[in-house]
Amino acid sequence: MTFNWKYALFTNAPILFTLIIYIAMTALQIDLICLILVVILTWTGWYAYAGWKVYRRHPEFNYHNYQRGTVSMIIITISTIGFLFLLLKLKLIDTALFLTWLAISNFLVDGFAKYKGLQ
């Protein structure tokens, strides 16, 4: 069981960028419409770059070449239960906390995914 941090960081870079953009734009009190536009442009630019440049040179970063194993499924289950506890029982959820939870849980799930080779 190895943790593939390069793949996890690459596939979760858009959500990490979204978290950083959200925190910066809310600190500067920028309008919500502008925030949504910046997030859409960031995600579109990232996946266009990945599709055109990265996947051809580095097939080990392509998410089609991975499958979720037992550890990933356990992390998903525990993470979902923890999120529901925060949301329903403690009512401690806001956008920044949700994005942070999503980034961390997806990073861990993708890090423990198994490389199944080129298809």
Number of Cβ within 10 Å of residue 15's Cβ equals: 18
User: What span, in angstroms and rounded, lies between the C-alpha atoms of 30 and 109?
Assistant: 32
pLDDT at 63: 80
pLDDT at 39: 87
Mean local confidence (pLDDT), 6-16: 90
Give the structural domain span for 61: 5-115
**Is the model's pLDDT at 44 over the cut of 90?**
yes
Write out pLDDT tens, residues 67-116.
Answer: 888 888 999 899 889 888 888 887 777 888 888 888 899 999 998 988 88
Q: Which two tokens stand for residue 86?
A: 């925060």
Mean pLDDT of all residues in the chain? Answer: 86
The total number of structural domains in the chain stands at: 1
- Residue 111, class by beta-carbon neighbours within 10 Å (0-12 exposed, 13-18 middle, 19+ buried)? buried
pTM for this entry: 0.77
**Total number of residues shown for the chain:** 119
User: What span, in angstroms and rounded, lies between the C-alpha atoms of 4 and 55?
Assistant: 17
